[in-house]
Amino acid sequence: MTLRVALLGCGYVGLELGRQLSANGHHPIGVRRSDDGIAAIEAAGFDAVQADITDADALQTVPDVDAIVFAASSGGRGADAAREIYVDGLRTAIEAVGERDSPSQPDRLIYTSSTGVHGDHDGDWVTSETSIEPTTPKTEVLAEAERIALEYPAEFGIDGTVARYAGLYGPDRYRLQRYLEGPVTEGYLNMVHRDDAAGAVRFLLEEDLGREEVVQVVDDEPAEKWAFADWLADECGREHPPKQTKAERLADDDLSEPAQRRILTSKRCANDRLRELGYELRYPTFREGYRAAIESVCDSES
């Protein structure tokens, strides 16, 4: 079955998702508001619609589709900007497509969230079913958006799904030097490669799975930061980087309150539900996922 999928906020993950859907014979439609965003979608090889996803009238230019993927970003800004996109924008998008008088109204929505909604669990494991405990104004917004994504679409006959992403990495987002040079603060890294972040959503759409539930999208192995940094150094033939404890890092008077919270937040994210549903990760750990970066950067220096 060929799927028509609107990718609202078609950025880092959305572009890869569009490429994967196209490669599998589907019809993705990327939606961005900027000229550069439209150019990026066209360069990726699929259809583009220029529209502001927070504008209900503008969203009427998006053609009828089978599914909506809401993958917008607030651009790393604060809680107010996040609310405008993730809460107000999500509601607007659901209403804009849900209120259409069309026989081809979409019957599902996938909202891409963040494992940041879990808050601090003192290094313990968290799953898709673990109660979330947001600890910052921005993650509180993300938690509210998750509730909207799971509950509000039902008013329009649409099933909502939350794909909860761990930290994204991949092309243009490897940040090798950060860990090779240090200092590296202790803690865990929960990660997922861009290709698997997109691949998991594609899988849920193609296999018609995960309706009305949260699916945590993370790789198989949370990485202990010090061990991860030392592994990268070994692979690149460098000295291990300097390390610091959380207490040492927190002694820095220049740290903002959000930065302090990030340092103190510790958890290990599990992908049990994603695996149960049958998705096979292309990059099950950072070792496979960072191979391309090591070969392109570190090997060229040797």
pLDDT digit string, tens, across residues 203-250: 999 999 999 999 999 999 999 999 999 999 999 999 999 999 888 888
Measuring CA to CA, which residue among 292, 15, 258, 285 is closest to residue 176? Answer: 292
Confidence of residue 105 (pLDDT cuts 50, 70, 90): confident
Mean pLDDT of 39-47: 97
CA-CA distances (angstroms) from residue 294 to 118, 179, 181, 192?
31, 12, 15, 17
Residue 269, amino acid? C
Q: What is the mean pLDDT of the chain?
A: 93
Mean pLDDT of 51-56: 92
All structural domains of the chain with their residue ranges: 4-170+190-221+269-283
Span 168-211, pLDDT tens digits: 999 999 989 999 999 999 999 999 999 999 999 999 999 999 99
φ, ψ of residue 45 to 5 degrees: the values are 95, 20
Residues 6 or more apart from 138 whose CB is under 8 A from it? 78, 79, 82, 116, 258
Confidence of residue 21 (pLDDT cuts 50, 70, 90): very high
CATH number 3.40.50.720 given to 4-170+190-221+269-283: yes
| Residue 137 CA to its chain's centroid (Å) | 19
Alpha carbons 21 and 15: distance in angstroms, whole number: 10
pLDDT score at 246: 87
